[in-house]
Amino acid sequence: AQEEHSPCLFQFREDGFLVLEHFFTAEECDSMRNAIQRIIAEMEVPPHCRTEFSTKEEEQLQAQGSSDYFLTSGDKIRFFFEKGVLDERGNFLIPKEKSISKIGHALHAHDPVFKQITHSSKVQELGRKLGLERPVVVQSMYIFKQPGIGGEVTPHQDATFLHTEPLGRVLGFWIALEDATQENGCLWFIPGSHTNGITRRMVRAAPGTSTCVEFVGSEPAYDDSQFIPLPISKGGLILIHGEVVHKSELNSSDSSRHVFTFHVMEAKDTSWSKENWLQPTPELPFPSLYT
């Protein structure tokens, strides 16, 4: 119980986030960057990105194609691109490694480097300090935040996308693989905003609809002045409570802001919503964080 008194964890419960500088070494960060370069080198452009845009009906099929690509990415390594990087024939207008927005959602299961980091003894020890009894890994993503085009991420709560009963069971681990600054799109948080529940959920749409997911409820208008920036240096870890409100701005600088992030759920006495876009599969049940 002495862990409850650790100033760090008290801070996390107060704010809904916690910054741990230099949690990973520069070498560990570089090993992840190298691993992702190998994955990109072997990447085939997804078919839904290559289809030509044409009739309305085909556009709907295209949207369906890309939505299936997204919906079935939970147990695979898949590629998602920034807007405007492909021409109408699906050819890259800029080098492919500069065009990717993110890669997800099962790097932690399929790539040895990301698996090792996700289940590293440091992460497991932190899980125990946080009092997690049966944590499982639900998803992981590599986010590029490309220079000049890395889009803004509007204010949101992770539990909007990863809903549990009860709430408060999802935790994000966000690892800076390069310095994250106000110029290149670091995270911004509203301290203490994790205590008010959620007002919006993204759920799987009914089969046969043209979109794969829909939003229920709405995001309130947040007061910009309440957000504080959390710049962090390479190797730093930000713990993110599932209900804390956070965002990041457009990266208008000329340096990227690579991040590896994964989400953990406390599985003890928790039910994962059947309406979440992401579902465990027979091929990949959510693996235990503890090994």
In a domain, residue 1? The reply is no
Question: 10 Å Cβ neighbour count for 163?
Answer: 22
Bridge partners (DSSP) of residue 153 are: 248
Contacts of 286 (CB under 8 A, 6+ apart): 136, 137, 138, 265, 267, 272, 280
Residue 263, amino acid: H
Query: In terms of pTM, does the model score above 0.85?
Result: yes
Q: Is residue 151 in a domain?
A: yes
Structural domains in the chain (count)? 1
2 occurs within a structural domain = no
Mean pLDDT of 169-182: 98
- Amino acid identity of residue 33, one-letter, is R
pLDDT attached to residue 241:
98
pLDDT tens digits along 24-56: 999 999 999 999 999 999 998 787 776 655 566
Q: Which helix (H) or strand (E) holds 35?
A: helix 26-41
Q: What is the pLDDT of residue 51?
A: 61
Per-residue pLDDT at 253 exceeds 90: yes
> Reduced to 3 states, what is the DSSP secondary structure of residue 264?
strand
Cis peptide before 166 (omega within 30 of 0): yes
- pLDDT digits over 205-247, tens only? 887 777 789 999 998 999 999 999 999 999 999 999 999 999 9
Q: Is residue 203 part of a domain?
A: yes
Residue 167 has pLDDT above 90, yes or no: yes
* Token reading at 131: 């009092």
Mean predicted confidence (pLDDT) in 80-103: 85
- Tell me which residue range forms the domain holding 250: 7-272
Would you place residue 271 in the very low, low, confident or very high pLDDT band (cuts 50, 70, 90)?
A: very high
Instruction: Give the rounded distance of the alpha carbon of 230 from its chain centre.
Output: 17
Burial of 264 (0-12, 13-18, 19+ CB in 10 A): buried
Has residue 24 been placed in a domain?
yes
pLDDT of res. 49: 74
Looking at the predicted structure, is the pLDDT value of residue 5 above 80?
no
For residue 4, pLDDT beyond 80 = no
Is residue 255 situated within a structural domain? yes
What b-and-e string marks burial along 5-44, b requiring 16 or more CB atoms within 10 Å of the CB? eeeebeebeebbbbbbeebbeeebbebbbebbeebbeeee
User: Quick check: 259 and 177 in contact, CB under 8 A?
Assistant: yes
Residue carrying the six token digits 């492919």: 96
User: With pLDDT > 70 as the criterion, what percentage of the chain qualifies?
Assistant: 94
- 180 pLDDT above the threshold of 80: yes
* pLDDT mean over 54-69: 72
Query: What confidence score (pLDDT) does residue 2 get?
Result: 46
**CA-to-CA distance for 18 and 161, rounded, in angstroms?**
21
Q: CATH number of the domain at 76, please.
A: 2.60.120.620
pLDDT value of position 114 = 98
Distance CA 162, CA 279 (A): 10
**Mean pLDDT across 119-125:** 98
pLDDT tens column, 130-149: 999 999 999 999 999 999 88
The residue assigned the tokens 């100033």 is 7
Work out the pLDDT band at 88, boundaries 50, 70, 90.
confident
In a domain, 287, yes or no: no
Q: Supply the pLDDT for residue 145.
A: 95
212 Rama class: left (phi>0) / alpha (psi -120 to 50) / beta: alpha
Mean pLDDT of the chain: 92
Residue 291 lies in a domain: no
Q: In this predicted structure, what is the pLDDT of residue 1? A: 42
